[in-house]
Amino acid sequence: MFKNKNILIGITGGIAAYKIIELIRLYKKNNANIKVIMTENATNFVTPLTVRTLSNNPVYIKQFETDNLFPEHISLGNWADIFVIAPASANTISKIANGICDNLLTSIVCAFSKPIIIAPAMNCEMWNNPIIKENIKKLEKLNYNILYPEAGFLACGTSGVGRLCPIEQICEKTYEKLKYKNKKLSNKKIIITAGGTRENIDPVRFLGNYSSGKMGVALADAAYDSGAEVVLINTFNHKSNYKTITVSSAIEMQAALAKEKQNADCIIMAAAVADFRAKKIQKHKIKKESTDDNFTIELTRNPDILTELCKTKSNNQIIVGFCAESENLLENAKSKIQKKQCDYIVANDVSRKDIGFASDENEVYIIDKNLKIMKLDKTSKKIIAEKILEFIYGEN
Ligand code: CTP
């Protein structure tokens, strides 16, 4: 996620400083290079030794203490791709907003032209102070990325808004800001299917499933952001800057794919396609009186769109399936990639409430043809989508 990226962290004096220890670990786990500046006050809350050990780098505290040829506020600034100030105290926020540079951290901010993220944490009365509010507004106008604090129980014993936002949110914002949009998919056509198909029974009823289409849309957005020509075949209406075709049933989805697939470099079947449809769609609403207590609808099998695509795919086309399971996730996923003969399968556990259908987050495994498995830890569907594309196009 952060391979070859240099993240500079600024820790100021606040009890939430202890949470930054976990943030450093999270960044490191995702391959970032980390250097940390602490204000003198921050050292009252966490020890520089802990920070140094976890970041694998010296910790910078005083402004004028090394024999470095370059002043630290210039060399650290040059080194960093992004500067993340967390927790940002009311004092540091106000200094930055007023151009004061009386310590290493604020001096670096003053000379830094790359993205800066500020994650404030403080007592709720301080947060509500109109001067602090003004300063935050001013910073936002100047393109600083503010991650607003959350409401909750505060270390000072009161409740209110002032708690540091979750470290995962800081990590995601960092990723978003660093994501280099060099349009690396600019010569690719990528088709993505999304949503759950609806198989009509009569004019008012259908067979459906819980798919929200969010994962497919996240993939389409990510592919578009990377410069690909995107076609999203979705069962929901979705406004976007790329081509979107709205379909309802599996048969309609298959027909839309048939029209679009010829010159596609990659097809990602994120849609939850119904395996069966009503054998006969009733022209008029089925009336209660016309049925008995054990009413039966005769179903017929839908085509397996993914399997058919794989049978007829051109040599360099990449075809990706999804696999939603409520049990035996990896075994089922492995058997599906072998049965359907796609290039990759993305497996997720839909029995979990915190990920999958309708959720904004996901945790998936990507499996390739050699049954090599890669886990993408739980994060937003947006980041999962970016990572899936990076994986397919050899960036992991
Ligand atoms: N799929 C498809 N056509 C179908 C059913 C599924 O193209 N008629 C695709 C889905 O879009 C997904 C993959 O196949 O990419 C796996 O879908 P899933 O519902 O997990 O598996 P099924 O093949 O339907 O098997 P089962 O329902 O037994 O789990």
For residue 153 the two structure tokens come to: 């129980």
Residue ID of nearest Cα to ligand 1 atom 18: 323
Q: From the CB of 321, is ligand 1 less than 6 Å away?
A: yes
E strands along 46-175, which residues? 59-60, 82-88, 116-120, 145-146, 150-153, 159-163
| Residue 156 is a catalytic residue | yes
The alpha carbon of residue 29 and the mean position of all alpha carbons in its chain are separated, in whole angstroms, by: 16
Q: What is the reported pLDDT for 103?
A: 93
Nearest-CA neighbor of 286 among 372, 189, 166, 202? Answer: 202
Q: Which of 192, 211, 306 to mutate to test the pocket of ligand 1 (most atoms within 8 A of CB)?
A: 306
Q: Is the CB of 323 under 6 A from ligand 1?
A: yes
| Residue 355 Cα to ligand 1 middle (Å) | 19
Query: How many CB atoms within 10 Å of residue 11?
Result: 34
CA distance 239 to 70: 50
What atom of ligand 1 comes closest to residue 332's alpha carbon?
29
Ligand 1 touching residue 202 (CB < 6 A): no
Helix, strand, coil percentages in the chain from 3-state DSSP, rounded to 5: 35, 25, 40
Asked if residue 333 has its Cβ within 6 Å of ligand 1, the reply is: no
**pLDDT value of position 351:** 85
**Nearest ligand 1 atom to alpha carbon 323:** 20
With a CB cutoff of 8 Å and minimum separation 6, the contacts of 141 are none
Tell me, yes or no, if the pTM score tops 0.85. Answer: no
Q: Compute the distance between CA of residue 265 and CA of residue 233 in angstroms, rounded to an integer.
A: 16
Q: What is the CA radius of gyration of the chain?
A: 26
For position 396, what pLDDT does the model report? 41
**Positions in the chain short of pLDDT 70:** 65-73, 180-183, 395-396
Q: Ligand 1 mean position to 336 CA, how many Å?
A: 9
Ligand 1 site, residue 273, Cβ cutoff 6 A: yes
186, 167, 175: which is closest to 3 by C-alpha? Answer: 175
Give, in order, the Cα–Cα distances in Å from 327 to each of 40, 214, 234, 331, 351: 52, 22, 26, 9, 8
Q: Could you tell me which residues come within 8 angstroms of residue 124 by beta carbon, excluding any fewer than 6 positions away? A: 154, 158, 159, 160, 161, 162
Of 124, 156, 310, 323, the catalytic one is 156
How far is the centre of ligand 1, averaged over its atoms, from the C-alpha of 304 (Å)?
Answer: 7
For ligand 1, whether the C-beta of 120 sits within 6 Å is no
Paired with 82 in beta bridges are 7
pLDDT value of position 28: 95
**Ligand 1 centroid vs 323 CA: distance in angstroms?**
7
Closest listed residue to residue 361, CA positions, set 82, 90, 166, 92 = 166
Residue 114 structure tokens: 């790359």
Determine the distance separating the centroid of ligand 1 and the alpha carbon of 77, expressed in angstroms: 50
Q: What is the pLDDT of residue 183?
A: 65
Pairwise CA distance, residues 25 & 46, whole Å: 15
pLDDT of residue 236: 96
Distance CA 287, CA 289 (A): 5
254 lines ligand 1 (CB under 6 A): no
Backbone angles phi, psi at 103, to 5 degrees: -150, 175
